Amino acid sequence: MRNDMRSYRGSDVLPMATAQKVKTMIIQRDMKPGDRLPTETELAERFGVSRSTLREAMKFLRAENVVVIRQGSGTFVSAGTGIGEDPLGLHFTNQEKLLENLFETRMLLEPEIAGLAAQRATPGDVKNLERMVWEMEKSEINSPAAAELDVQFHTAVAECTHNDVLVRVVPIIIESIRRSHGENHDDQDSFKRAKVCHAGICKAISEGNVIEAKFMAERHAWETLNYMKEVVSSNL
């Protein structure tokens, strides 16, 4: 996570310093996407600032995509921590080919990532994946929670590889697909298939089955691509 030293108003100095302290805390605690931060009161006391200053700090962190704030639930580490809305400049590429290009990239990467995850995943990694599969099973179709869990699941698979570059790349691709074409599954059958694939990927990784992990990841990418093509065609 970088310390963005752009010019801010004098009144922003303390919130910005507090935001940096929160980033440092996230790094030192090795917090993962989806992990919940301490409460507003706890953080304010920890850093010796008022709650209003802490709220301003959280606004900066949310703008930098470091945290996600869910009303009534708390503040969580973002799945795409520190990644801007369009880090690859995809808005300036050929939009007609963008979906195809994104999925081509996804299908090249994700099966290999899943295979590597099956080789390297720790028991803790597997437990995290199983938790996400369980939460996805409970989520409602086309809900913000389901969309966020989808990104978190694919990021968690990348985390099983223990390759920090892959952990940064995967959410960029998934978020880019969603922002450009809206990958929320609003079709019940598609949503169920996605859940089945997630569970299959998780099971293969937990068993150390490299071939099955690759197969399920590729199947999931193809099924999602076909669904997205249907959505795009229906909107023409």
Q: Kindly state whether residue 227 falls inside one of the protein's structural domains.
A: yes
Do 27 and 60 share a structural domain?
yes
What is the residue range of 50's domain? 10-77
Do 109 and 221 share a structural domain?
yes
Model confidence pLDDT, tens digit, residues 72-125: 889 998 876 655 556 666 666 666 677 788 888 888 999 999 999 999 999 999
Closest CA to 194 of 153, 230, 163, 223: 223
Q: Kindly state whether residue 99 falls inside one of the protein's structural domains.
A: yes
Q: pTM for this one?
A: 0.65
Do 96 and 54 share a structural domain?
no
Do 227 and 142 share a structural domain?
yes
- Picking from 24, 47, 77, the residue at the C-terminal end of a domain is 77
Q: Give the CATH number of the domain where residue 167 resides.
A: 1.20.120.530
Q: Which has more confidence, 52 or 233?
A: 52
Domain count, the chain: 2
Cβ atoms of 68 and 62 within 8 Å: the answer is: yes
Q: Kindly state whether residue 105 falls inside one of the protein's structural domains.
A: yes
* pLDDT (average), residues 127-156: 85
Instruction: Choose the most confident range, by mean pLDDT, from 21-35, 109-123, 141-155, 213-227.
Output: 109-123
Structure tokens at 47: 């850093």
pLDDT band at 2 (very low <50, low <70, confident <90, very high): very low
Do 141 and 216 share a structural domain?
yes
Strand partners, 74: 70
pLDDT at 181 exceeding the cut of 70: no
Lowest mean pLDDT among 23-27, 38-42, 188-192, 211-215: 188-192
